[in-house]
Amino acid sequence: MHERSSVYTKGIQRAPRQGGVMVSLNPSTTFHLLGRLLLLGIPLAWAQTACAQSAWAAVTEADFFDDLPVVLTASRITQSPLDAPAPVTVIDREMIRASGFTEIHDLFRLVPGFLVAEWPWGPPNVINFGMGDARSGRLQVLIDGHSVYNPFSGRVEWQELPIRIDDIERIEVVRGQNASAYGANSFQGVVNLITRNPNTEKGYSASLTVGNRDIREYAGRFAGVSGNLNWRLSLSDRTALNYQDLATERYGGGESIHYQVLNGQADYQLNVTDRLHVQLGLSRVDDTVSALGYDVAPYPRTGDNLLLQVSWQRAYAPGSELALRYFHYSRNSSEHYPDQTDWGPVLPVTVDFGMTMFRDDLEFQQTHTFSPELLGVWGGVLRREGVESAHYLYEQGEETGFQWQTFGNLSWQFAPKWNLNAGGMLERHYLTDTLFSPRMALNFHPAANQTFRLSAGRAYRAPTIMNARTLETFPLSDGSGIADVGYVSPYALEPEQVDSVEIGYVATFPQWGLHLDTRLFSERYQNYIDDRSCDWDPASNTQGCVRERPAGYDHYLAIIATDPFTDPNARIYESQKAYEFYNIAGDIRIDGIQLQLDWRQPWLGRIVFGQTFNRIDVSSAALAGERDLNRSVPMHTSSLLWMRDLPWDTTVSAGAYYVDDMKWLNDGDWQPDYRKLDLRLAKHLGKRDSGDELAVTFQNLTGKYPEFHYLLFTAERRAFATLRASW
């Protein structure tokens, strides 16, 4: 993917920019929260109406189209949103700043259909549609076109990524399967974090953020040019108290985070056609987390992350380019509990969730413009990745795997009003057979600024190492045996499969300052990978474990028989229970409607809004026992972001979000519906395009609400101030 396209590539397609990201609210909540924002905004806006109307009169249709970006992630071809084969949400820098969010994962609250939930015992969860749990590994997440999900669990360590929000130029989110462009695991969508190009920045800047709940962040950015070399370096150090202990009997759930990030990039123009780009990212994690349900002192959770990307690009003709890239991503984490004397029957138990993982990619890609009507891209990827964990991969050492991918996509305007996108990905994953993921999309343009899109495709999600090779053990601290077994992988799993079809409508109305994107879709899932409990005790009435009992498993972990949150004298018994991964028989179907719009008016400012309505069907006889699945997709979600310039070089923005009640699977639980309201006020210092400002942000003004679990994890109110200065 040409996350940094050449001058030739950028010049051939100046297409309308999609402006932004969606906001969602259920029917009753939407107008209530929208009304609050309008009541806040109209008095402030009235003072500037006359001058703004005169300014708007000077805006032409060409200006509006020039303000809309091309998208890169839908097909690996630089395209207008009107020609793309898939629905794409673009979160631009204006929206990133106006949202007031300080963490990357929170930005996806702006995307229709996306769900975000934090919890203290793992990374934040970001999913599309639903069916999410603590691992949530059905999204392909990229930094500048390269995958950064964890090959063990499939999830993304969002807060540990070696980039910060200020390093991001824009985010492109494909809101549906996109395996024809990015392969297995692009199962429910693709997120591409596109970083800022060193060519676009000069000088130095610094920022300081201070707020309640121990919020602190110190950040600096340095950028310069020396001959044909452009470079950029950013540094940050941030802390926060995300969760506090609830002081409940046998429970502690606090999380205090500390992250340090360095990201450096250099861009060297070798000659007129050739360019070399290097990116290095480092992050350091030093958290303090309370133990999982036991009265022990908080323990440290540490980790180091490394990202390295080296790419060469040659622009050999207008709209045509060769690219060769190497990418490395690795993570080394330590998460060691104090010895648990109340877990085992007699002796203390060692609990260490530490893990190392790595990924190495070598990618070749060619983009070629055959004619103004026919564009193509093809290439291949070689990948090696691996994981080592004494806890999850008991006595297995390092688990590694090799995979290859080859892909191709064409965009053909075969008639004045018709455009055809066709492509596919052929790949061999080390945990599956050879897979082929095709997609075809037909776009009809009834007018120059409107498109109807009909598309269909198939995608796969390969089992993760956790799904296919796990043997999770809790050894006794003296080495005499194993006190408990957690997750096990007894089966040869099939890859998950989704077949999707959608009808979309994308339109831009310059006379109204409006960009609209609607989508009606249906997706059918097969071979869904889930986990279920099993028991090694032959006298148990539950399903017996298939995998052979590990040697030394003679002492059984003490398990709580009654709820410790309601019964301080919870009874203890010995159990031989474990959890095994398996493919669910039967189909799961999700149907839905998505709406997103970006509306700009001088008297009101800019509004980006999104709404989703979803329905999940798990009614087949084969899924009769999977009752939680039919509650794992919220019926509707909403988000709304409003931005407005005010007199005296000030800006106001507000975000309103609604998520219907739903069930997070496995480690999660019931999440009641919630409303979230944020407000940001900023005073610009110096020129507006400098980014210098003093801003105050208030989050969760509607009050605290539960995420991921109705009882355990509560998002609290926050307030913080940020000062930015550059020179």
pLDDT tens readout for residues 409-418: 999 999 999 9
d(CA 339, CA 350): 5
pLDDT score at 290: 74
How many other C-beta atoms are found inside a 10 Å radius of the C-beta of residue 447?
Answer: 9
Reply yes or no on whether the pLDDT at 540 is more than 80: no
**What would the pLDDT profile of 460-500 be if each residue is shown by its tens digit?**
999 999 999 999 998 888 787 888 899 999 999 999 999 99
Domain assignment of residue 207, yes or no? yes
pLDDT score at 178: 96
Domain assignment of residue 215, yes or no? yes
Using pLDDT thresholds of 50, 70 and 90, give the confidence band for residue 512: very high
Contacts of 88 (CB under 8 A, 6+ apart): 18, 71, 73, 74, 81, 172, 173, 174, 175
Q: Which of 406, 495, 419 is nearest to 185 (CA)?
A: 495
Cβ–Cβ < 8 Å for 209, 215: yes
Average pLDDT over residues 564-572: 52
Domain assignment of residue 374, yes or no? yes
Enter the tokens of residue 551.
């040697």
Reply yes or no on whether the pLDDT at 624 is more than 80: no
Q: Which of 631, 633, 637 is nearest to 595 (CA)?
A: 637
What is the pTM assigned to this prediction? 0.89
Domain assignment of residue 69, yes or no? yes
**What would the pLDDT profile of 133-168 be if each residue is shown by its tens digit?**
988 889 999 999 999 999 999 999 999 999 999 999
d(CA 117, CA 130): 12
Between residues 291 and 243, the one the model is more confident about = 243
**What would the pLDDT profile of 338-374 be if each residue is shown by its tens digit?**
665 554 444 577 788 999 999 999 999 999 999 999 9
Enter the tokens of residue 53.
């109307």
CATH for 41? 2.40.170.20
Reply yes or no on whether the pLDDT at 23 is more than 50: no
Enter the tokens of residue 107.
């930005």
Average pLDDT of every residue of the chain: 86
pLDDT score at 549: 87
- Counting the structural domains of the chain, the total is 1
Using pLDDT thresholds of 50, 70 and 90, give the confidence band for residue 32: very low
pLDDT score at 61: 42
Domain assignment of residue 616, yes or no? yes
From residue 452, alpha-carbon distances to 10, 86, 178, 319, 422 in Å are 25, 11, 19, 25, 16
pLDDT score at 628: 87
What value, to the nearest 5°, has the Cα angle with vertex 580 and ends 577 and 585?
130
pLDDT score at 339: 65
From residue 224, alpha-carbon distances to 6, 165, 235, 660 in Å are 20, 20, 15, 47
pLDDT score at 296: 57
Reply yes or no on whether the pLDDT at 294 is more than 90: no
Contacts of 59 (CB under 8 A, 6+ apart): none
Domain assignment of residue 306, yes or no? yes
> Where do the DSSP E strands lie in 528-604?
529-535, 558-560, 572-574, 577-583, 588-601
Cβ–Cβ < 8 Å for 689, 93: no
Using pLDDT thresholds of 50, 70 and 90, give the confidence band for residue 56: very low
H/E stretch holding 285 = strand 274-289
Contacts of 226 (CB under 8 A, 6+ apart): none
Using pLDDT thresholds of 50, 70 and 90, give the confidence band for residue 297: low
Beta bridge partners of 412: 374, 420
Its domain, for residue 631, covers 7-726
Average pLDDT over residues 615-641: 86
Average pLDDT over residues 696-719: 92
Domain assignment of residue 1, yes or no? no
**What would the pLDDT profile of 438-451 be if each residue is shown by its tens digit?**
999 999 999 989 99
Contacts of 91 (CB under 8 A, 6+ apart): 20, 21, 107, 110, 111, 170, 171, 173
d(CA 507, CA 654): 25
pLDDT score at 637: 97
d(CA 348, CA 350): 7
d(CA 440, CA 675): 38
Report the phi/psi class of residue 568: left, alpha or beta, with left for phi > 0 and alpha for psi in -120 to 50. alpha
Domain assignment of residue 532, yes or no? yes
**What would the pLDDT profile of 526-539 be if each residue is shown by its tens digit?**
999 999 889 887 77
